[in-house]
Structure 1
Amino acid sequence: MKTLKKITAVSAIIALGMTATAGIAETLRLGDFQSTSHIVSIEGTTRWMAAVEEATGGAVSFQHFPSQQAAKSKAQLDAVNNGILDAALLGTLYHAESLPLNSVVGLPGFYSSAQQGTKALQAMLKEGPLREELLAAGVTPIFGFVLPPYQVLAKKRLGLAEDWKALDIRTSGSTQAMTARSMGAVGISIPGPEVYTAVERGRLDAVLFPLASVPGYKLNEVVSHISTNGSFGGYSFVMVVRSDLFKDLPEDVQAKMLELGAETAMHVAKAQDDSVEGLVTQWKDEGIDTYTFSDAELASLTDSMKLVGQDWLERINADGAEAVLENYRALTSK
């Protein structure tokens, strides 16, 4: 049985200028792997759900399954397609096999802030190969945003590329694993909720992670050195609804979900960027070495990572990949 009946009408006078039709309220089962205390949930997912419910007068509501309650991080897309969920906040790099073109965001050196990267991602989800890839996977993208550029967290200071050799480093998916390998390290893909234990037990030597997300996983408790000006790739989240369900929604409801999604994307991006400065100050007070790479170190790292983009093209071997990479480069350079 489908978890969402076909919506034929909306039951309330829709707020914010939407039209009114008669019917019954429906609930979408929405899953994600972040906890409700994570900034992505507070300023993104839960904020958007509340805004949609208010704007539709409760005609569309949500049953939220955070913290992998309905499906593991790598199974969110399957859960939507199989009817376990109706919608999900996908971590696209966890679905690189199904969404190879969307993994372009994992490449290093492209954006310097979440707001810059989110503007580029939103443009690419509005039209083009990234959108078409998601539609082909059976889901419709509502909005997308990125995390701030990944930094390195470790128990020792990592600077020049040679410092990384033979280290086991946590990466988010295969694209970011290529970044680690470019510096002689071993990239190990571990979901965010499992990273704390892996570092604590010595399974990992270092972690590539966005600073705004560190508090959500308490990684500052298990590392002693955190970089602040690196750019070791990005990570994109995309809110999706199963396409057959989204098409059954009234057009004004679809439009409002998309409009509120665009607002939420930029809001959560700015919230993340704004949080970083305060976090760095807090960590310094805790005795953590928060450091900036020197010009020589940045040059060494950049030189090592310069071929990752070409490696990405060869690895995914997908039609349109080169055009996606060039468009991403152009959009993030604005």
Structure 2
Amino acid sequence: MYKKALARSARVAAFCVLVTVGCVPAQARTLMFADSFPLSHTLSTDGTQRWMKRVETLTDGDIDFRHFPAEQLAKAGEILQKIEDGVIQAGYIGTGYVSDELPLNGALMLPGEVRDTVNASQAYWQLLKNDTPLRQEFLDNGVVPIYAVMLPPYQLVLKRGPVSELGDLRGLKLRSTGSLNLVVQAVGANPVSMAAPDAYLAIQRGTLDGTVLPVTSIAPYKVNEVTKSLSTNGRFGSFGITVAMDKKTYDGLSESQRKAVDQAGDETTAHLAQVIEDEVQTDLAEFRDQGMAVYELPESMREALEPKYQAAQQAWVERMSARGLDGQAVIDAYESALADVDAKR
């Protein structure tokens, strides 16, 4: 009788530990987190830092973080590998920096796909939360998407003055990355694959003639200090900002901890996307005050760019097809998700 009771007690104890239904307290843990953003960057203050603080609050301190910002631990394109290697448990993953590992996620970097940052971010996040090829790419790399936003449309940021026709771009060396390389190439410029934090020195030294960047990323990387002009109405593509967690770490959290991580992710996606959208006009005004030429591309140039944008998108679809991937289906799924978000706003 005693042995049976002891065995039954052991089974109950094991069950409690496995399902964490309150029989034992959730295990407190410190997670290592890395990103490439300066601490003053909106993507840090209203993104990664905000998310970490929110997780700590929602878990009553059971989860806290050791934060390595501004590429202290790894370059932007190396963070996914650091998670896979177990060096860190979570971090920022720029989809354009790991296009070999997350090829289909490059669809949203294509020109014209992002028009409104808030809606585009919500549409992308819905695709990453549900059972889609975009989410599966993250899972296949051993990570779980935690939150995501899309940046505003990329603009021309050049060492020279404003451009007024397509020929002005011919031969320029522009920093780019991922699917954006196809766009830069399509408009006649020469793409130079490089992470945003490295653009300043490359432009300053004359290695680059400029870059394509969203308005909100220019000042944090001090690119405005080494350039003279900025377009405002280009549609040169976008960039996916995602934060992901090691899947084993995520699965090892208690149910309440996972809910806290997920809730903080949903909140951060909504908050950060709106902050980015609101920040664009403020940044443009500051650049004008600094003497930067902030201008609209003329209508004739915009019309000339449209077929180039389409050519870049088609080239990307063909590149995906060569890898046995259905890129067009992903574009269609995003457009459908975006239409759903638009209808609800």
The equivalent position to 2:243 in structure 1, one of 226, 239, 244, is 239
1:171 corresponds to 2:182 = no
Show CA shifts across 1:34-91 (max 9, x none).
Answer: 1111110000000000010011000011111111112111111110010111011111
- Residue 81 of structure 1 is matched in structure 2 by 84
Map 1:180-329; keep pairs closer than 5 Å.
Answer: 180-317=184-321, 318-329=324-335
2:108–2:331 Cα contact (<8 Å) kept: no
- Residue 60 of structure 1 is matched in structure 2 by 63
Q: C-alpha displacement at 1:274, in angstroms?
A: 0.9
Secondary structure of 2:219's counterpart equals helix
Q: C-alpha displacement at 1:231, in angstroms?
A: 1.3
- Residue 138 of structure 1 is matched in structure 2 by 142
* Distance of 1:58 and 1:159 partners within structure 2: 55
1:99–1:134 Cα contact (<8 Å) kept: yes
Secondary structure of 2:220's counterpart equals helix
* Distance of 2:67 and 2:115 partners within structure 1: 31
* Distance of 1:207 and 1:19 partners within structure 2: 53
- Residue 4 of structure 1 is matched in structure 2 by none
Secondary structure of 1:215's counterpart equals coil
Secondary structure of 1:111's counterpart equals coil
1:97 corresponds to 2:103 = no
Show CA shifts across 1:161-209 (max 9, x none).
Answer: 2221111111122x10100111111111111111011111111112100
1:220–1:283 Cα contact (<8 Å) kept: yes
* Distance of 1:122 and 1:49 partners within structure 2: 18
2:186–2:312 Cα contact (<8 Å) kept: yes
Secondary structure of 2:79's counterpart equals helix
* Distance of 1:287 and 1:74 partners within structure 2: 33
- Residue 69 of structure 1 is matched in structure 2 by 72
Report the residue type matching 1:164 in the other structure: L
Show CA shifts across 1:126-170 (max 9, x none).
Answer: 121100111011101111111111111012212322221111111
1:10–1:25 Cα contact (<8 Å) kept: no
1:114 corresponds to 2:117 = yes
- Residue 330 of structure 1 is matched in structure 2 by 336
Q: Which structure has the greater CA radius of gyration?
A: 2
* Distance of 1:74 and 1:217 partners within structure 2: 16
Secondary structure of 1:67's counterpart equals coil
Report the residue type matching 1:329 in the other structure: E
Taking only the aligned residue pairs, the percentage that are identical comes to: 32
* Distance of 1:256 and 1:183 partners within structure 2: 45
1:170–1:187 Cα contact (<8 Å) kept: yes
Q: C-alpha displacement at 1:20, in angstroms?
A: 9.2
Q: C-alpha displacement at 1:275, in angstroms?
A: 1.0
* Distance of 1:19 and 1:259 partners within structure 2: 20
* Distance of 2:115 and 2:53 partners within structure 1: 30
1:27 corresponds to 2:30 = yes
Report the residue type matching 2:208 in the other structure: L
* Distance of 1:278 and 1:121 partners within structure 2: 25
- Residue 126 of structure 2 is matched in structure 1 by 123
Show CA shifts across 1:232-268 (max 9, x none).
Answer: 1010111111111101111121122111111101211
* Distance of 2:164 and 2:24 partners within structure 1: 61
Report the residue type matching 1:62 in the other structure: F
Where structure 1 has 5 or more consecutive residues not aligned to the other structure, the ranges are 1-7, 12-17
* Distance of 1:289 and 1:304 partners within structure 2: 25
TM normalised by structure 2 equals 0.88
Identify, as 1 or 2, the structure richer in helix. 2
* Distance of 1:243 and 1:24 partners within structure 2: 17
* Distance of 2:19 and 2:197 partners within structure 1: 38
Report the residue type matching 1:94 in the other structure: Y
| Change in 2 beyond 3 A, CA 1:231/1:22 | same
* Distance of 1:290 and 1:169 partners within structure 2: 18
* Distance of 1:159 and 1:10 partners within structure 2: 63
- Residue 42 of structure 2 is matched in structure 1 by 39
Show CA shifts across 1:269-323 (max 9, x none).
Answer: 1111111111111111111110012222211111222111111011133433221
Secondary structure of 1:152's counterpart equals strand
Where structure 2 has 5 or more consecutive residues not aligned to the other structure, the ranges are 1-16
Secondary structure of 1:117's counterpart equals helix
Q: C-alpha displacement at 1:9, in angstroms?
A: 9.2
